[in-house]
Structure formats: C-alpha cells, structure tokens
C-alpha cells in the first residue's frame, strides 16, 4: 500500500532556492514526487534571521510514515542541516517537515501528523493546499480551510 504524503520545505541560509531544489531532487530519488507547490517567501518565526523560502511537495511513499521521516532527516543532514534543541526556530539550510499524510494521525516525541501547528501557519498550509487541495484532517475528516491572508507570506515567481 502506498502512502500519500505532503512534505513542507524551508530554507533561509545560503542559496535558498538551490537548497529547496536539491532537497526535492533527493526526495525524488527515494519517493515518487507527484506535485510541487509555488515557492513562498516568508518572514521568520523566532530569533532575528533571514526570510525563508517555503514550498511543499506531494509524494507517494511505498513505506510507512516512520521510514518517510527517517529518509527526510537523512536528506536534511546531507543538506547541511544541524538540529539542536537550543536552535528550534533558528536559521537553516534546509528544513523538511511531514505536514500531512492521508489517513495518518501520529503524536509522538519525534513526529506529529498532521503537523502540530499546520492550520496556524500560512507558510505551510498555503503550499499544502496547492499540492493537495483535497486534503482532509484525518482527525476530523474535514477539509483543511485556506488560511486568512498573511502579509508575512508572499507567493513568488520562483519555481521548484
């Protein structure tokens, strides 16, 4: 059985677009990439840092959600991402988050699906709805609603 998953991508260090494109390429080596969103420029959360580029991809994975997470963490590591508890909202070369997986709910120390603050973050929800307009919250069965306009999230002309 294949798993339908939306992965959020973000980068705010170095050549942000190259980091996103490289991550999409690497994800495509492991999973089938079925759709790519627009690229959004986003004001950062947390400490002062450069703006992010954010996007989402919809993938088909012939594995379980834990293996998807392992593969994404490996791609982040190879892309220069250093995870540390004291830099939770810090700058990063690449950030890959499982935003949603069809029919999957999970809440553990290492993974929450759907993403814990998905509906509060236009920079994640807007790209998700572009690649998965049919996505429903697996906890309620209700479709995800578009977020209210957010001046800190701007669609760009950049292409993944």
Could you list the beta-strand ranges (E) of the chain: 3-11, 32-36, 40-42, 52-61, 95-101, 106-107, 112-113, 153-155
Average pLDDT over residues 14-27: 97
Residue 51 counted as domain residue? yes
Q: Are 39 and 156 in contact (CB under 8 A)?
A: yes
Residue 135 located in a structural domain: yes
Residue 44 within a domain: yes
Pick from 156, 147, 76: which is nearest to 117 by CA? 147
* 160 inside domain: no
Phi, psi of 6 (to 5 degrees): -110, 125
How confident is residue 69, by pLDDT bands cut at 50, 70 and 90?
very high
Assess if residue 64 is contained within a domain: yes
Q: Nearest-CA neighbor of 78 among 27, 12, 7?
A: 27
pLDDT, the chain, mean: 92
Q: Is the pLDDT of residue 94 over 90?
A: yes
Tell me, yes or no, whether 40 lies in a domain. Answer: yes
- Say whether 117 is catalytic: no
- Give me the CATH number covering residue 68: 3.30.70.560
pLDDT given for residue 139 in this prediction: 93
pLDDT interval class at 126 (50, 70, 90): very high
Of residues 47 and 74, more confidence is placed in 74
Structure tokens that stand for 49 in this block = 């840092």
Known catalytic residue at 51: no
For 71-83, the pLDDT digits (tens) are 999 998 898 777 6
97 is catalytic: yes
Q: Of 4, 95, 134, 150, which residue is the catalytic one? A: 95
**Averaged pLDDT for residues 117-140:** 95
The structural domain count of the chain equals 1
Q: Do 96 and 23 form a contact (C-beta atoms < 8 A)?
A: yes
Active-site residue 92, yes or no? yes
Range of the domain at 14: 3-155
pTM for this prediction: 0.94
User: How far apart (Å, rounded) are the C-alpha atoms in residues 50 and 97?
Assistant: 19
**Cα-based distances in Å from 150 to 16, 49, 52, 80, 97:** 21, 19, 14, 30, 21
Q: Which of 21, 36, 58, 92 is catalytic?
A: 92
Whether 84 has a pLDDT exceeding 70, the answer reads no
pLDDT digits (tens, 9 = 90+) for 132-156: 999 999 999 999 999 998 999 999 9
């Amino acid at each position: 059985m294949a798993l339908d998953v939306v992965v959020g991508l973000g980068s705010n260090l170095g050549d942000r677009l190259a980091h996103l494109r490289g991550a999409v390429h690497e994800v495509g080596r492991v999973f089938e990439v079925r759709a790519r969103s627009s690229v959004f420029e986003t004001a950062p959360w947390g400490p002062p840092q450069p703006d992010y580029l954010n996007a989402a991809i919809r993938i088909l994975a012939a594995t379980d959600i834990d293996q998807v997470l392992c593969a994404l963490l490996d791609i982040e590591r190879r892309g220069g991402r250093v995870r540390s508890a004291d830099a939770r909202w810090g700058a990063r070369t690449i950030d890959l988050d499982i935003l949603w997986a069809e029919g999957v709910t999970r809440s553990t120390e290492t993974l929450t699906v759907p993403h814990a603050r998905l509906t509060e973050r236009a920079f994640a929800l807007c790209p998700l709805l572009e690649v998965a307009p049919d996505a429903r919250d697996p906890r309620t069965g209700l479709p995800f609603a578009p977020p209210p306009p957010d001046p800190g999230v701007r669609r760009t002309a950049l292409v993944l």
